[in-house]
């Protein structure tokens, strides 16, 4: 189908011209099938097709059509990074006079301003919070696009998708689900009462293969064989084999430390020619990486054409490595599977490990077929390659490897009817006024995927009734003359996106005398913190267990119905990390002491800051204004990693924890002091270059400060 034919489906000529300008003259089979099945005519739909098969363009066409009809289009992703990527992509639609907005955080913040946009890109969590807040513009939503819809399998994010779709179906919004790895797409399309597009087409042909370690060869499904000169590490020799054929390579390994080790070893033993002029800008960005480890090691690897990528790295380092790979400056990147989670980073050839260590069983186990397909799908770069190849590198034998290749992804199953998911979403529906009785709740939850896919109605009613009782006992809801209504505590809990259990735990153990360490320890024991908590090695746990006696008067009781000793000790270590952070220990020192990565530290920071800020609101509505203020200040300190005296200074862009402390040590303790400081003096301070100083003064002027111009 030529793009000119889209006029017949309600898309304007200006949009068609925009597509042509982007080099899109003809729609591919996936896009044609979606249009034929009614995606532009209001039909709900699930598109389950391979990576890079053009699903996003289908969503874009639908968003444009709805916007031109006066409706708001919402595009949802699981990750902030993916939301930013899609926001940049859709921002090109401003040429049509459409406005595009993005919202990925601040769960309890008013959302009315988002109604100014034609298209809104958001994370699942943020849109779930918006549906609880019920801004006026919600009635103008025309379509909700759920990207990476297989995330329903995830115990945390899955129930959020389910409740968003259930609410959307009840409100009459059109629903479009996108995924590359759904094992039961027909069940999912039936759930949304829509059509299914399940076309096995991709712009770059994918050829999968298995490394036969017995005979030192790669066997592809198309019958080709490649013999590999194996002299040492299989994975490194396979990478070398690929690079000799000028094949840019991604290597997926399920262990961070191993990823780093392989990158370092390969950089030392392989000679890759890199034009440093292509790296100059990216190396400059790495100078602002937060740790010495990243500022020193990663640039050296990049200069050798090698990189590694995992969630423990800072956002700066991850972004630089991704961009260097896209520009083809990097020839190989060793990565954990987090890189395969939706970020657009294809390679000519992908090497995939299908084994990971399972700490519960203490041995290596196989990953799921769905996980393998996500990683294999990164092979093949549109506009560069005629085909992409994925190779399983550690199958027990060729038969096991080919079983992965021939198998379909596992069926997606809902996770709504767990205690945690139900208490969160039952409360939110009562708070929003969508449910006033057990029957109302059962009717709404009947629309979830969990209920649709093998749900037992009587079991659902029983579980919902149990949760309602728990919420009543926790003073989150009340039963007034047979109607379920939320209390002020229930409302603030839901609006701040907290698990009711987190609030119950906090209220039971909140300190009689305020203590920063105690609060941090309490926060790290909440289910909201634990859902994304980081791995702490046994060595670190043992070391800090020996220090418990020193802090025992500042921590929670060890014995509790809410947590066990192992949880308590892990929380103690997390609290110690955060305590060091807010007291301005350097990132390098923290990472070395606790054996965590910068990305881990920032994940902890973001989660703890949100929880403490939310608890501040809880205290405010409960009437303890003084404690509310202390918690709010602590949340700000956790966010910035500073002592209290630096909070005013770090409110400026480009002044972080390090520069703020430098200013304070030189007698500049406030924004007023800063405005009075001559430019010449600022320029003598470490890390305060001309550009930074100019940016600081610009912000101060915008805030109404009179700048001391004398030198």
Min mean pLDDT across 191-205, 399-413, 694-708 is at 694-708
pLDDT above 90: residue 96 = yes
Please give the model's pTM, rounded to 2 decimal places.
Answer: 0.91
pLDDT score at 631 = 98
Could you tell me the pLDDT band of residue 343, with boundaries at 50, 70 and 90? low
Q: Measured between alpha carbons, how far is 267 from 447 in angstroms, rounded to an integer?
A: 53
Q: What's the average model confidence in pLDDT over 28-49?
A: 97
| Helix runs in 172-233, H state only | 185-191
Class of domain 500-641: mainly alpha
Is it the case that residue 413 has pLDDT exceeding 70?
Answer: yes
Number of Cβ within a 10 Å radius of residue 351: 27
The Cα–Cα gap between 16 and 177 comes to 24
Q: Which residues of 394-406 are buried (b: 16+ CB within 10 A; e: fewer)?
A: bbeebeebbebbe
pLDDT band (50, 70, 90) for residue 710: low
Residue 344 confidence (pLDDT) = 75
For the structural domain made of 419-486, what CATH number should be given?
1.10.10.10
CATH C-level class of 3-197? alpha beta
Q: How many helices (H) and strands (E) does the chain have?
A: 32, 19
**pLDDT value at position 450?**
94
**Interval 135-147 mean pLDDT:** 96
Q: What phi, psi does 217 have (nearest 5°)?
A: -145, 160
Backbone angles phi, psi at 623, to 5 degrees: 105, -5
Contact 435, 450 (CB under 8 A): no
Average pLDDT over residues 223-239: 93
More confident residue, 81 or 253: 253
Dist CA 508 CA 286 (whole Å)? 45
CA distance 89 to 74: 14
Report residue 709's pLDDT band, with 50, 70 and 90 as the boundaries.
low
Cβ-contact 596, 540 below 8 angstroms = no
Taking phi over 0 as left and psi of -120 to 50 as alpha, with beta for the rest, 506 belongs to alpha
What pLDDT is attached to residue 340?
A: 65
Answer yes or no: same fold for 3-197 and 500-641: no
In DSSP terms, which residues pair with 252 in a beta bridge? 335, 352
Which pLDDT does position 342 carry in this prediction?
56
| CATH fold label, 649-702 | DNA polymerase; domain 1 (1.10.150)
Residue 264: pLDDT band with limits 50, 70, 90: very high
Question: pLDDT value at position 299?
Answer: 92
Locate the domains of the chain by residue range: 3-197, 205-406, 419-486, 500-641, 649-702
Q: Collect all residues with Cβ–Cβ distance below 8 Å to 301 and sequence separation of at least 6.
A: 263, 264, 267, 307, 308
Mean of the pLDDT values across residues 171-184? 94
Would you say the C-alpha torsion 501, 506, 508, 509 has a positive or negative sign? positive
Proportion of the chain above pLDDT 70, given as a percent: 98
HSE at residue 187, side-chain half, CA atoms within 13 A, is 19
Tens-place pLDDT, residues 566-599 = 999 999 999 999 999 999 999 999 999 999 999 9
Which of 98-112, 387-401, 519-533 shows the lowest per-residue confidence on average (mean pLDDT)?
A: 98-112
CATH of domain 205-406: 3.40.50.300
User: Scanning the structure block, which residue is given the tokens 């400059």?
Assistant: 284
Q: Which helix (H) or strand (E) holds 578?
A: helix 565-582
Residue 545 has a pLDDT of: 85
Q: What is the pLDDT of residues 620-671, one digit of tens each?
A: 999 999 999 999 999 999 999 999 999 999 999 989 999 999 999 999 999 9
- C-alpha angle 59/62/67, rounded to 5°? 125
How far is the C-alpha of 86 from the C-alpha of 343, rounded, in Å?
A: 10
For the chain, give the longest Cα–Cα distance.
78
Q: Where are the alpha helices (DSSP H) in 641-689?
A: 657-665, 671-676, 679-683
Which residue has 């890189």 as its token pair? 339
Decide: residue 569, CB within 10 A, 0-12 exposed, 13-18 middle, 19+ buried: middle
At 358 the pLDDT is 80
Which pLDDT value is given to residue 270? 82
**Res. 23: pLDDT tops 70:** yes
Average predicted confidence (pLDDT) for the chain: 92
Beta bridge partners of 256: none
């Amino acid at each position: 189908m030529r793009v000119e034919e889209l006029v017949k489906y309600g898309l304007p000529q200006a949009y068609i011209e925009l597509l042509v300008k982007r080099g899109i003259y003809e729609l591919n089979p996936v896009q044609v099938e979606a249009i034929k099945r009614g995606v532009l005519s209001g039909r709900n739909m699930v598109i389950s097709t391979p990576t890079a098969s053009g699903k996003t363009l289908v969503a874009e066409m639908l968003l444009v059509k709805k916007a031109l009809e006066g409706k708001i289009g919402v595009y949802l992703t699981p990750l902030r990074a993916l939301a930013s990527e899609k926001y940049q992509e859709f921002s090109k639609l401003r040429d049509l006079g459409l406005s595009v907005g993005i919202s990925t955080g601040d769960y309890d913040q008013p959302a009315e301003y988002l109604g100014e946009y034609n298209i809104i890109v958001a994370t699942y969590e943020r849109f779930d919070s918006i549906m609880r807040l019920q801004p006026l513009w919600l009635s103008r939503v025309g379509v909700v696009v759920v990207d990476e819809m297989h995330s329903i399998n995830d115990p945390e994010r899955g129930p959020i998708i389910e409740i968003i779709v259930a609410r959307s179906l009840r409100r009459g919004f059109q629903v479009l689900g996108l995924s590359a790895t759904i094992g039961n797409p027909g069940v999912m399309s039936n759930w949304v009462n829509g059509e299914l597009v399940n076309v096995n087409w991709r712009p770059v042909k994918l050829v999968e293969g298995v490394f036969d370690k017995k005979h030192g060869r790669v066997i592809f499904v198309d019958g080709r064989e490649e013999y590999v000169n194996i002299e040492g590490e299989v994975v490194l020799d396979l990478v070398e084999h690929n690079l000799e054929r000028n094949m840019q390579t991604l290597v997926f390994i399920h262990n961070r430390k191993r990823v780093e080790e392989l990158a370092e070893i390969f950089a030392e033993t392989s000679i890759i020619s890199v034009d440093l002029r292509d790296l100059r800008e990216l190396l400059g960005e790495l100078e602002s990486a937060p740790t010495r480890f990243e500022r020193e090691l990663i640039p050296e690897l990049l200069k050798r054409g090698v990189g590694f990528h995992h969630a423990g790295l800072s956002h700066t380092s991850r972004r630089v490595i991704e961009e260097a790979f896209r520009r083809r400056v990097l020839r190989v990147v060793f990565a954990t599977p987090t890189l395969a989670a939706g970020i657009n980073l294809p390679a000519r050839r992908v090497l995939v490990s299908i084994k990971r260590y399972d700490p519960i069983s203490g041995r290596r186990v196989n990953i799921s077929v769905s996980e393998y397909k996500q990683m294999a799908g990164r092979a093949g770069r549109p506009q560069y390659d005629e085909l992409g190849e994925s190779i399983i590198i550690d199958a027990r034998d060729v038969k096991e490897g080919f079983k992965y290749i021939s198998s379909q992804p596992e069926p997606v199953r809902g996770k709504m009817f767990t205690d945690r998911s139900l208490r969160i979403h039952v409360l939110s529906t009562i708070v929003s006024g969508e449910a006033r009785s057990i029957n109302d709740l059962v009717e709404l939850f009947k629309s979830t995927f969990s209920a649709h896919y093998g749900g037992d109605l009587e079991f659902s009613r029983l579980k919902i009734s149990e949760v309602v009782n728990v919420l009543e006992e926790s003073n989150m809801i009340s039963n007034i003359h047979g109607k379920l209504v939320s209390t002020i505590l229930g409302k603030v809990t839901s609006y701040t996106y907290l698990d009711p259990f987190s609030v119950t735990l906090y209220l039971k153990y909140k300190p009689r005398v305020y203590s920063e360490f105690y609060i941090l320890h309490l926060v790290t024991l909440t289910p909201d913190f634990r859902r994304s908590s980081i791995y702490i090695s046994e060595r670190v746990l043992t070391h800090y267990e020996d220090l418990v006696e020193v802090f025992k008067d500042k921590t929670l009781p060890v014995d509790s119905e809410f947590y066990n000793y192992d949880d308590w000790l892990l929380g103690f270590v997390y609290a110690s990390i955060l305590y060091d952070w807010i007291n301005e220990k350097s990132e390098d020192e923290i990472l070395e002491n606790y054996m965590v990565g910068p990305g881990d530290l920032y994940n902890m920071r973001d989660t703890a800051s949100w929880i403490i800020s939310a608890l501040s609101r809880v205290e405010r509505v409960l009437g303890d204004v003084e404690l509310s203020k202390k918690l709010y200040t602590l949340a700000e300190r956790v966010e910035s990693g500073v002592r209290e005296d630096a909070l005013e200074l770090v409110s400026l862009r480009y002044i972080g924890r390090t520069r703020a402390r430098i200013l304070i040590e030189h007698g500049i303790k406030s924004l007023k002091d800063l405005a009075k400081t001559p430019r010449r003096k600022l320029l003598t301070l470490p890390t305060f270059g001309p550009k930074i100083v100019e940016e600081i003064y610009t912000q101060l002027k915008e805030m109404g400060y009179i700048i001391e111009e004398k030198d």
